[in-house]
């Protein structure tokens, strides 16, 4: 397995220290103050794919995701003076919607860790940083990280520090307030005093009542829940300052390297620019489904571009995904039909180099998740099956071998949903009567029945081996 590592800026060999070791993956989860959009979902699909490819390759994997359920943006969505229960109720609602989106897109549920459930670990980590003298208190009740003391600051992800953070970066670090006690302008906050308008949304700590900074939550949660962090994932925007600060918090004072591999997912763009809620054009999952795209099409759309390339969101890309997926479905349904018909075939050799294709696909997945080249090979296989006619030699065991392999791949792809290929009895009856009309050359009747089958959401294709049907 080879993975591009943002630490080195190179593709490196992925290794675990011991053969039986569980691979620890951490992904920065959403801030739950509204729904996640299609861009966020790309990052989570890439996380899901990473986990599934590693499992496919035989690794044991533990996959942890935080949920930011305490944050200024969340507070500002609540009424002044809101109580803790009100915030919990509010964030729980958006967390559940997010989990539902993950389920819809067939992501395997991560071990989800809410920040508010991990406050002890957050405070413990701040104490450790202060003890090592990389953290200091200010008069307003905050605790800051002293970046000038940290000679390695920014080196982990090769960040060159300009003298001052830009307004955007400050906003990115969710730290826009002023504090006269800072040792350096760019020091970032570990612990903040209660918000003046939301005094009840605070926790006890040895620094007084307060709430955590943003970066500390991920460091604390990843450290607590993973025995070793092999891969840390997030969107490209998080590299600096969020991930840079996560590394600083964990490694300051010479502590062990935090995160062997750092993966950054490029953004989904809308007409070439950033998805922005302020323009009111944010694409959400349910809106896209309401436009007539199935969750599988959306999953495939998010999956089929390499994660280190930006992805455009537009109808054309969704339509292309839909068309490609329908070709894959046709192949899969044809393979199933071939298996039911194949008892009479007896040749032993596969008529094409299936093992080479399989090796090429497996290699692509191992090569920094090169999904584009994976799908090039996958399409060759799918095309072969679609074009298959009796003149070529396949027997039941070949077909089952290919079929089993496709199903094994689907542990990563999750596109061949069984109910697409399970044809209800009423539809089967329609298919049989249509075949009868066709055998009598009554094409008017057979076309009528085709329309009825289509109106139930099924596609019917007349192949040389018989009618192939699947749900669109
Ligand atoms: P947030 O809730 O803003 O912290 O975002 C959750 C995750 O989505 C983070 O890993 C972000 O980097 C990622 N993200 C945000 N916008 C996009 C986008 N347009 N494309 C891909 N990932 C994104
Ligand atoms: Zn994070």
DSSP type of residue 17: S
How many CB atoms within 10 Å of residue 205? 20
- Give the tens place of pLDDT for each residue, 394-432: 677 788 889 999 999 999 999 999 999 999 999 999 999
In the structure encoding, which two tokens stand for residue 126, read together?
């701040």
Q: In whole angstroms, what is the distance from residue 394 CA to residue 405 CA?
A: 15
DSSP assignments along 233-255, one per residue: EEEGGGIIIIIHHHHHHHHGGGP
Ligand 1 centroid to 174 CA: how many Å?
14
**Helices 315-341 + 396-413 axis angle, to 10:** 150
Q: Out of 39, 115, 285, 312, give the residue to mutate to test ligand 1, the one with the largest number of ligand atoms within 8 Å of its CB.
A: 39
Ligand 2 centroid to 280 CA: how many Å?
26
What is the average pLDDT value for the chain, to the nearest integer? 92
Residues 29/34/40/41 CA torsion (nearest 10 deg)? 90
Q: In whole angstroms, what is the distance from residue 265 CA to residue 369 CA?
A: 12
Ligand 2 centroid to 31 CA: how many Å?
10
Q: Out of 28, 31, 32, 43, give the residue to mutate to test ligand 1, the one with the largest number of ligand atoms within 8 Å of its CB.
A: 43
- Give the tens place of pLDDT for each residue, 308-356: 999 999 999 999 999 999 999 999 999 999 888 876 544 445 667 888 9
Average pLDDT rounded to a whole number, residues 142-164: 87
How far lies 352's CA from each of 183, 255, 392, 398, in Å? Answer: 68, 54, 9, 11
Indicate whether residue 153 lines ligand 1 (CB < 6 A): no
Ligand 1 centroid to 47 CA: how many Å?
12
Q: In whole angstroms, what is the distance from residue 408 CA to residue 57 CA?
A: 11
What H or E segment, with its residue span, contains residue 376? helix 371-387
Residues 122/123/126/130 CA torsion (nearest 10 deg)? -170
Average pLDDT rounded to a whole number, residues 361-390: 94
In the structure encoding, which two tokens stand for residue 131, read together?
């003890």
Share of the chain above pLDDT 90, in %: 81
Average pLDDT rounded to a whole number, residues 174-181: 64
42 CA: nearest ligand 1 atom: 21
Indicate whether residue 40 lines ligand 1 (CB < 6 A): yes
Indicate whether residue 43 lines ligand 1 (CB < 6 A): yes
Average pLDDT rounded to a whole number, residues 143-159: 93
How far lies 118's CA from each of 74, 114, 131, 216, 252, in Å? Answer: 18, 7, 20, 11, 21
pLDDT for the residue numbered 163? 54
Indicate whether residue 267 lines ligand 1 (CB < 6 A): yes
How many CB atoms within 10 Å of residue 319? 13
- Residue position matching structure tokens 């998805």: 275
- For the chain, what is the radius of gyration of the CA atoms? 27
Nearest CA residue ID for atom 4, ligand 1: 30
36 CA: nearest ligand 1 atom: 2
Would you say 316 and 291 are in contact if contact means Cβ atoms under 8 Å apart? no
- Give the tens place of pLDDT for each residue, 440-459: 999 999 999 999 999 999 99
* 370 prior amide bond cis, ω within 30: no
Q: In whole angstroms, what is the distance from residue 345 CA to residue 400 CA?
A: 13
Q: Which candidate, 30, 63, 1, 4, places its Cα nearest to that of 264?
A: 4
- Give the tens place of pLDDT for each residue, 7-34: 999 999 999 988 778 999 999 999 999 9
Q: How many Å is the maximal CA-CA distance in the chain?
A: 91
Indicate whether residue 67 lines ligand 1 (CB < 6 A): no
Would you say 72 and 218 are in contact if contact means Cβ atoms under 8 Å apart? no
Indicate whether residue 413 lines ligand 1 (CB < 6 A): no
Ligand 1 centroid to 163 CA: how many Å?
26
pLDDT for the residue numbered 166? 62
Q: Which candidate, 117, 36, 123, 102, places its Cα nearest to that of 69?
A: 117
29 CA: nearest ligand 1 atom: 6
Residue 176's pLDDT band, with cuts at 50, 70 and 90, is: very low
DSSP assignments along 82-136, one per residue: --HHHHHHHHHHHHHHHHHHHHHTTPPPPEEEEGGG-HHHHHHHHHHHHHTTSEE
End-to-end CA distance of the chain: 35
How many CB atoms within 10 Å of residue 151? 8
HSE-CB for 384 with a 13 A CA cutoff: 16
**Helices 38-56 + 84-104 axis angle, to 10:** 60
Of the ranges 77-81, 165-169, 429-433, which one carries the lowest mean pLDDT score? 165-169
pLDDT for the residue numbered 169? 59
Ligand 1 centroid to 312 CA: how many Å?
15
- Give the tens place of pLDDT for each residue, 273-314: 888 665 567 899 999 999 999 999 999 999 999 999 999 999
How many CB atoms within 10 Å of residue 182? 16
Indicate if the pLDDT at residue 391 is higher than 60: no
How many CB atoms within 10 Å of residue 87? 22
Stronger pLDDT, 43 or 280, i.e. the higher one: 43
* pTM attached to this predicted model: 0.94
Would you say 382 and 328 are in contact if contact means Cβ atoms under 8 Å apart? yes
Q: In whole angstroms, what is the distance from residue 143 CA to residue 212 CA?
A: 9
Indicate if the pLDDT at residue 247 is higher than 70: yes
Nearest CA residue ID for atom 2, ligand 1: 30
């Amino acid at each position: 397995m080879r993975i591009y590592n943002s630490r080195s800026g190179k593709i490196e060999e992925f290794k675990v220290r011991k053969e039986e070791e569980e691979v620890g993956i951490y992904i920065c989860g959403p801030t739950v103050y509204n729904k996640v959009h299609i861009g966020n979902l790309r990052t989570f699909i890439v996380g899901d794919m990473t986990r599934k490819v590693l499992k496919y390759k035989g690794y044991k994997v533990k996959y942890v995701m935080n949920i930011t359920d305490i944050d200024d943006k969340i507070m500002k969505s609540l009424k002044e003076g809101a109580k803790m229960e009100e915030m919990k109720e509010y964030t729980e609602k958006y967390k559940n919607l997010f989990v539902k989106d993950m389920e819809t897109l067939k992501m395997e549920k991560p071990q989800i860790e809410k920040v508010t459930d991990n406050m002890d670990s957050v405070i413990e980590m701040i104490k450790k940083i202060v003890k090592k003298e990389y953290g200091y208190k200010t008069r307003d009740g905050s605790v800051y990280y002293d970046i000038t003391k940290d000679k390695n600051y920014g080196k982990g992800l090769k960040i060159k520090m300009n003298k001052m953070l830009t307004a955007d970066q400050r906003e990115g670090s969710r730290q826009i307030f002023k504090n006269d006690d800072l040792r350096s302008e760019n020091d970032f906050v570990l612990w903040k005093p209660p918000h003046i308008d939301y005094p009840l949304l605070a926790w006890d700590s040895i620094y007084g009542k307060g709430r955590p900074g943003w970066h500390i939550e991920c460091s604390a949660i990843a450290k607590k829940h993973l025995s070793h962090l092999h891969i840390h994932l997030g969107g490209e925007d998080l590299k600096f300052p969020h991930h840079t600060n996560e590394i600083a918090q964990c490694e300051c004072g010479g502590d062990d390297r935090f995160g062997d591999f750092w993966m950054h997912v490029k953004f989904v763009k809308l007409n070439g620019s950033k998805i922005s809620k302020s323009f009111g054009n944010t694409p959400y999952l349910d809106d896209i489904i309401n436009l007539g795209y199935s969750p599988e099409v959306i999953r495939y759309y998010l999956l089929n571009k390499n994660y280190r390339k930006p992805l455009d969101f537009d109808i054309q890309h969704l339509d292309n995904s839909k068309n490609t997926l329908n070709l894959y479905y046709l192949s899969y349904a044809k393979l199933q039909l071939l298996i039911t018909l194949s008892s009479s075939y007896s040749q032993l050799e596969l008529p094409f180099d299936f093992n080479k294709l399989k090796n090429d696909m497996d290699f692509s997945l191992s090569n920094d998740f090169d999904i584009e080249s994976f799908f090039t090979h996958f399409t060759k296989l799918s095309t072969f099956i679609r074009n298959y006619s009796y003149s070529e030699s396949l027997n039941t065991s070949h077909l089952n071998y290919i079929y089993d392999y496709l199903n094994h791949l689907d542990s990563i792809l999750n596109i061949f949903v069984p109910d697409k290929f399970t044809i209800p009895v009423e539809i089967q009856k329609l298919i049989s009567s249509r075949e009868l009309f066709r055998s009598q050359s009554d094409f008017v009747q057979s076309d009528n029945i085709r329309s009825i089958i289509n109106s139930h959401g099924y596609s019917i294709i007349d192949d040389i081996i018989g009618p192939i049907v699947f749900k669109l």
